[in-house]
Structure 1
Amino acid sequence: MLKRLALLALLVSAQLHAAPHIDSARLQQLAATPYWIALGHYETGKLGGWRSYVDDPKFFLSEDGGHHPDRELAATVQALYAPANLGDKHAQCVFPARTRWLSEQLGLTDLPQPDCQEYRQWYQSVDPHSAVLIFPAAYLNSPSSMFGHTLLRIDQAKTRDDDTTLLSYAINFGAYIEGSDNSILYAWKGLMGGYPGLFALMPYQEKLSEYRSLENRDLWEYQLDLTPQETGRMVEHVWELKQVQFDYFFFDENCSYRLLELLQVARPGQDLTSQFPLTAIPTDTVKAVKQSGLVSGVRYRPSRERELLARADALDHQEKQQVLALSADTAHLQSADFGALPAQRQALVQDAAYRLERYRANGQVRDPAQAKRSFELLRAINRNPPPPLDIERPGLPENGHQSRTWQLGVGTREDRAYAEYGLRMAYHDLNDNAYGFPLGAQIEILQLKLRQYEGNDWQVQRLDLATIRSLTPRNELLKPLSWQVAGGLERVPGKHDDEVLVSHVNGGAGGTWQLADGLLGFALGTVRVEHHNDFAQFIAPAAGFNSGLLWRNGLGNMTLEAKGDYFTNGEVRRSVSLNQQWEISQDLGLRLSAKREFSHLATAQNEVMLELKWYHY
């Protein structure tokens, strides 16, 4: 408001260039063009009309510009003719993308010529020529990164010729967080739009270090087929969005959705955002960009963790022990055991030790002793360099199955037949097609299952708010913790051999081990809290276990699990289950499930179901 009043005062007190009169029909026509809609981040309102995703009044020159694109356009034309002595505060300097487009559309050849020094210097430092879409792969140990992330890298003209991408700039959209919210509060506020979202332009090297090193995430770089002019248009608009706030929601108005809007500014006529009315999961948005024809090439950058494991893969048990000894004390370089190794094996061992030291140092305060060990190992590597790493590129993440799943099953529970209908909003479990996903990772958000028994007896079988599992194998060099957490409603055994719908929260932690190629074994200790009317007035806590096998076989993925919950009131609940999925196609699967449940409240129950899963966005 103050910005608009100050601008009006200057317009009244200064000699103005005459702003042109725009015919009403022409005004409406321009205001409805896809490019103006993209510049204002407008969408069709739920009850008609328009609304802008921008939640910051300083972005608009009209009092009601957030809901009226035509009024914002008219106010912008008037502001472009403000006195040139406004300098960097002139509308032409604040909104260069609007200025250029309106000048082209209306033939505005008599505009004032303010000195936009701040914008000019900023644009020259970025020097946009081409753009790359960056996708850091999913990272389960960070609530904000479980689905992956997307950002844009802006390259200069010679970047690809001399491979100086680290000197490029990155455009990132993310939640602005003040203070130190814990993971649960962060996830809740992210789901409910409790954080403002801001665009930021920063050195790409900073983001590369954050995602590839600190969080140990693989990076995928998608070279975009944008001309220098299109890239420049996008960067112009980023300047207009400087310190402008949006609401931020994890599942729709997130990093990926905002970047799709930028690409629509870069290439007018591209319709990328209309495909995501409910959710915008990063892998889905990458797929949409690729299908639009905007991607001309793909480059893979493995994480430091993957590089370490690739180097250690060629080592035997004794050599891995040498790696641990070297990383603990570089004096081991002069030991008889290390000296007995052939020179080629020494090169591999000391290179793995150096990578292990750098991996451990990620995100830690600099330790002089550790820095010294790293330096000594680096000197040894220079004297006896190892062969280059050969890392097999994993499956492209955007080629994995679709994120939303429709489910139709038929089965029996003891002597009762049923049909089961389900919908999962997002996006992967342990038995789903693993192409493009890490084996042992599960992220399910908002899953509803309805069951129809014989006699038209309907019931809610389960409503999962979130189920997250991270089963990362331990090895001789790295000892990651496996964990899981889940919450929602589910059917459990009750009195009289019926099933009771209970609310619950449970979680656990433990270890996972690679037993063979494609075979993981896991064992976790668990805790559970549930509200069950049959044996607790309010809540009942339990401790238990969850162990089993995950096997990637020729048909698909198979899990064999045993679970147990031992409640403080004496109730004991155990189950054994087997799930095997047949991968009919990338987005179609057939799953056979068998389960036997034991409970002190009821007799043992057997259940078998055959379920068709359709992965569809």
Structure 2
Amino acid sequence: MKFFFSVIFAVFFVINCAHAQPLAESPEWHSLLHIRDDNKSDINDPKFFLSNPFSPENEFNIAISELRSDKKDEMLCRFPARYRYLNKKLDLNITFDHCTNLNEFLKDSRGESVSMSFASSYLGSPISYFGHTFITIHKTNNRFFSQTLSFAAEIPQEVGFIDLLSKGIRGGFNGKFVAEPYFKLHEGYNIVEQRSLSEYRLNLTQDEIENMLWHAYELYDANINYKFFTENCAYEMLWFLEVARPGLKLRENFPYAVIPYETINEIKKAGLVMQIDTQPPLINSLHTIYNGFTAEEKDFFSRWKNSGDKKEELESINLSNETKDKLGYLINGYYDILFKRFHQGKGDFEDVKQLPYTPPNERYIGEPIRHGSSKIEVGYLQVNGVEGLDLNVRPILFNRIHDLYSELGDGTLEFLGLEMRRIENKTSLQSFTLLKIESLTKRFDFYHPVSWKIYAGADRSLKDSSLQPLVQVGSGVSYGTSSLLWYGMGQATVYPLKMTAGIEVLAGLSYWNGLSHIGIDFREPVFFTGRKSKGDFEAYFTTPITKKIIFKIWGKNQEAGIRLVLAF
């Protein structure tokens, strides 16, 4: 009898090996192994594979042969996504009932729908400059305990800024796949880091969701080199979608850099997105409520937030129930920020949570307005009455003048930008931006962020008009409403090759009206040597013509011009 079954299994094995070639070359098998176009895998962890040397066909053959080995049960639980696929294609009649950890993971993770979630840019860390994408598997009745799947770099705390940026670009950090409840990411992004969260609901079937979850379990211990511009969170999330729906080819549209928000655009182009929901940062909601208060209500709130028994005092004051509700929400949000971001006021936080309040509906249909991360500006200008043309190339640019990301924070992020001019038949490089980061976040009664900027590049601001490298660092404050921003800042500027340095005062005022933006920025030296002029200003007006073209009028000192900004 034993011999009979051995013969049957041998025949079965030979028959299935005949399927090896087409199945080993199928999109499903390649996506499960993260196979690129060069037939190599993106995953460099040998624990993720059975074969050595690795090839898709070798991996297939060994996976089949393991079914008749003593390690069969172990292999089924270690690589369930692969064996689930083989079971469906070859009708192997295998089960995974004995895989306790797998079944617990699936039970905790399953949901009714899936979103690609996007956390907006966070200027506090280079790794988060372009935002973060992750997958959320939604539980209808318990959104905050829905499962999320993400990919993140393991970064030691002692790593400095330059080392962080350098290793992040060349793949010096290890990346890990992480599964955790949605509330943890919501707390970290929406409250601690004050980032908006957008959810792009996908039209995946239940079987496609299962494909994704089984594969996520396989990836739990896999190590992958994290690369800031290529093999990052967004890139790995595209793999999940290609596993969920084999045949999708999303990654091939990013041959050089994978910018998280640009991957969202590709998902939309592929017809995967059914609905978009956005939750602004907690501080935005608090700011909106606070700005709606009368002067008397603002004064009461300022005194009340530092009082003793807040619940008793609130009930004793002659205020409308609606105002009391808003005050309760404000004070809860205030202590959420203190407790979760700054680790302060834990005792008061527990007392405050007893306040009755109804949270407003913070979510809305739609997404923040974006105009792409790459921009080319072409335009006509006049310099001291002489006509000319200019060209600005910004391969990586998020700019507060062109892009509206949130009602409260205004930020700029630019890498590797250059400006060229042609005047009187002479073409010159006017400026070069290696890195520019600017964060202008508005302050109000209990939220006091510092506005700051960092710039490294080269320009022609010195008296001899030569292109000179410079470094600038500034710090100050910003105030405003949902449509108005003004800021003041002190800035130190150093031209290292010319041994020239100075201190300047920066100030600006800007206003949003729908999608149009008008503003003016000032720069006045307090002490400086070697500069062309005493002061500097720039006024601008921008408005979108289409989703990809922005019209801009600008003027500064003896210069003025008209530009079209092409966004990609």
TM tier, smaller: 0.7 to 0.9
| SS in structure 2 of the partner of residue 474 of structure 1 | coil
The correspondence of residues 331-346 of structure 1 with structure 2, limited to 5 A, is 331=309, 339-342=317-320, 344-346=322-324
- C-alpha distance in 2 between matches for 1:94 and 1:477: 51
CA gap of 1:205–1:337, structure 2 versus 1, over 3 A, is closer
CA shift at 1:148, angstroms?
A: 2.0
What is the one-letter code of the residue matched to 2:476? G
Alignment of 1:613 onto 2:540:
no
Structure 1 residues 34-68: Cα deviation after superposition (integer angstroms, max 9, x where no partner) = 22221222223xxxx33322122222223342xx4
Pick the aligned partner of 1:576 from 534, 537, 548.
537
CA gap of 1:87–1:338, structure 2 versus 1, over 3 A, is same
Instruction: Check conservation: 2:408, 2:442, Cα contact below 8 A.
Output: no
Question: Paired residue for 2:3?
Answer: none
Alignment of 1:204 onto 2:155:
no
TM-score (norm 2): 0.88
CA shift at 1:86, angstroms?
A: 5.5
CA gap of 1:186–1:270, structure 2 versus 1, over 3 A, is same
Instruction: Check conservation: 2:517, 2:541, Cα contact below 8 A.
Output: yes
Question: Paired residue for 1:51?
Answer: 40
- C-alpha distance in 2 between matches for 1:592 and 1:488: 24
- C-alpha distance in 2 between matches for 1:473 and 1:315: 17
Instruction: Check conservation: 1:326, 1:353, Cα contact below 8 A.
Output: no
Instruction: Check conservation: 1:167, 1:203, Cα contact below 8 A.
Output: yes
Pick the aligned partner of 1:530 from 491, 495, 504.
495
Structure 2 gap ranges (5+): 1-5
The correspondence of residues 145-224 of structure 1 with structure 2, limited to 5 A, is 145-155=128-138, 159-160=139-140, 163-224=141-202
Question: Paired residue for 1:38?
Answer: 31
Question: Paired residue for 1:485?
Answer: 454
Instruction: Check conservation: 2:278, 2:363, Cα contact below 8 A.
Output: no
Pick the aligned partner of 2:548 from 575, 578, 587.
587
| SS in structure 1 of the partner of residue 475 of structure 2 | strand
What is the one-letter code of the residue matched to 2:23? L
Structure 1 residues 108-162: Cα deviation after superposition (integer angstroms, max 9, x where no partner) = 638799954443443344345532222223333343333221111224xxx31xx
Question: Paired residue for 1:551?
Answer: 511
Question: Paired residue for 1:434?
Answer: 404
Structure 1 residues 81-104: Cα deviation after superposition (integer angstroms, max 9, x where no partner) = 35134642x2x3322222232344
| SS in structure 2 of the partner of residue 84 of structure 1 | coil
Report the number of matched residues.
561
Instruction: Check conservation: 2:335, 2:345, Cα contact below 8 A.
Output: no
What is the one-letter code of the residue matched to 1:268? P
Alignment of 1:252 onto 2:218:
no
Alignment of 1:403 onto 2:373:
yes
- C-alpha distance in 2 between matches for 1:542 and 1:16: 85
- C-alpha distance in 1 between matches for 2:96 and 2:182: 33
CA shift at 1:508, angstroms?
A: 0.8
CA shift at 1:523, angstroms?
A: 0.8
Question: Paired residue for 2:70?
Answer: 84
Question: Paired residue for 2:268?
Answer: 290
Structure 1 residues 243-299: Cα deviation after superposition (integer angstroms, max 9, x where no partner) = 212221223321111111101100111222222222222222223223322223333
Instruction: Check conservation: 1:449, 1:463, Cα contact below 8 A.
Output: yes
CA shift at 1:590, angstroms?
A: 2.1
Pick the aligned partner of 1:501 from 467, 484, 500.
467
CA shift at 1:194, angstroms?
A: 1.9
Instruction: Check conservation: 1:326, 1:350, Cα contact below 8 A.
Output: no
CA gap of 1:459–1:517, structure 2 versus 1, over 3 A, is same
What is the one-letter code of the residue matched to 1:226? L
CA gap of 1:368–1:590, structure 2 versus 1, over 3 A, is closer
The correspondence of residues 224-373 of structure 1 with structure 2, limited to 5 A, is 224-331=202-309, 339-342=317-320, 344-365=322-343, 367=345, 369-371=347-349
CA gap of 1:34–1:179, structure 2 versus 1, over 3 A, is same
Question: Paired residue for 1:422?
Answer: 392
CA shift at 1:433, angstroms?
A: 4.4
Structure 1 residues 315-352: Cα deviation after superposition (integer angstroms, max 9, x where no partner) = 12232222122221224766799735455544433442
Once the two structures are aligned, what percentage of the paired residues are identical?
25
- After TM superposition, the structure 1 stretch with the greater mean CA deviation from structure 2, 419-428 or 18-27, is 18-27
Alignment of 1:518 onto 2:496:
no
- C-alpha distance in 2 between matches for 1:554 and 1:437: 11
Instruction: Check conservation: 1:470, 1:484, Cα contact below 8 A.
Output: yes
Question: Paired residue for 1:560?
Answer: 520
- C-alpha distance in 2 between matches for 1:308 and 1:113: 49
- C-alpha distance in 2 between matches for 1:339 and 1:142: 44
- After TM superposition, the structure 1 stretch with the greater mean CA deviation from structure 2, 214-223 or 265-274, is 214-223
TM-score (norm 1): 0.82
What is the one-letter code of the residue matched to 2:213? V
Question: Paired residue for 1:601?
Answer: none
CA gap of 1:194–1:133, structure 2 versus 1, over 3 A, is same
Structure 1 residues 400-447: Cα deviation after superposition (integer angstroms, max 9, x where no partner) = 222211222232323554322332122321221437786622222221
Instruction: Check conservation: 2:117, 2:133, Cα contact below 8 A.
Output: yes
Question: Paired residue for 1:97?
Answer: 81
- C-alpha distance in 2 between matches for 1:564 and 1:241: 55
Question: Paired residue for 1:69?
Answer: 56
